Amino acid sequence: MGKIVFMFPGQGAQYVGMGKDFYDSFACSKETFDKANEVLDIDVKKLCFEENEDINITEYTQAAMVTASVAILKKIEEMGLKPDLTAGLSLGEYCALVASDVMSFEDAVKVVRQRGILMQDTVPAGEGAMSAVLGMKKEAIEAVLPDVEGIVTIANYNCPGQIVISGESKAVAEAGEALKEAGAKRVLPLKVSGPFHSPMLKPAGEKLLDVLADVEVDDPTVPYVSNTTAELITSNDQVKELLGRQVYSSVCWEQSIEKMIADGADTFVEIGPGKTLCGFMRKIDRSVKAINIAKVEDLEKLKEIM
């Protein structure tokens, strides 16, 4: 058997009720939610478990997502399954850092709370936008964007046929029209509160470095893949710098998955709400195994790989 990857979803996979069955069923998961409420200025349990509008607002979403995903991770660890590599899509990288023992959960959730506020507040509402570009090769998209006036860049290389662009609202709209003319099947505007993973968020990334200044980061006990470089990280030298850059750089998810497969990974376990990453896996490489653990009943799937 090849290497096992623990991978964690990013913002957008959240929903009311996420992690509730784990909280109700397992002491280690309950402890994760309790810890989040202790160290944060918001009620994460209420955010995750009770109907509310805040769960989709960036400054709240990020802490809620990381808490729910790590609560599930703790149960999987308790069952005795260990990864050989970890990775997370954008925000999910903080869960990968917890799984690789680079950062404590308490520090990770405190950092993402600040990260969410910085990302929410850096660009005034309405000035930035993001769109998903479907059915077009990344090289073709990369060829069109430089001709568009204003700031618009690739935010996410999710999988073949699904790329996300980000930047100034007008430039993103113009790029969408240009991409459709150049052969994109569809361009879908995303309901987001800012131009994430674009140069417009550079001030947020730089301020995040101040937040990270006093946070202890250790060498990974298992390598993790940085979204920003799609490279395996095996020491703590670059961790903070890469997390700062990640806020305003492209998320190289497809490239990250390819890197791990080249490194011998053949089993991918998506830990956290939804199953977005398993969907991407089917388009990146169908030959590897991918399972998602979002609900307590999903733990049954782990029997296949333990």
Among 197, 226, 249, 250, the one annotated catalytic: 197
pLDDT of 171 reads: 98
Query: Is 295 a residue whose pLDDT tops 90?
Result: yes
What SS3 state is found at 93?
A: helix
- At CA 151, angle to CA 149 and CA 152, rounded to 5? 95
Among 90, 166, 226, 250, the one annotated catalytic: 90
Going by C-alpha positions, the residue among 306, 256, 305 that lies closest to residue 285 is 256
Any catalytic annotation for residue 235? no
pLDDT of 193 reads: 82
- CA dist 131 and 111 (Å) reads 27
* Mean pLDDT along residues 221-226: 98
All structural domains of the chain, each given as residue ranges with its CATH number in brackets, are: 3-122+200-304 (3.40.366.10), 128-192 (3.30.70.250)
Digit-coded pLDDT (tens) for 137-152: 999 999 999 999 999 9
Any catalytic annotation for residue 197? yes
Q: Taking the mean position of all CA atoms in its chain, how far away is CA 213?
A: 22
- Total Cβ atoms within 10 A of residue 160: 15
* Mean pLDDT along residues 156-176: 98
Can you name the residues that pair with 225 across neighbouring β-strands? 232
pLDDT of 133 reads: 98
What confidence tier does 252 reach under pLDDT thresholds 50, 70, 90? very high
Q: Taking the mean position of all CA atoms in its chain, how far away is CA 192?
A: 14
- CA dist 208 and 234 (Å) reads 22
What SS3 state is found at 43?
A: coil
Who's near 203: CB < 8 A, 6+ residues apart?
Answer: 122
- CA dist 278 and 49 (Å) reads 24
pLDDT of 1 reads: 73
pTM for the whole structure: 0.97
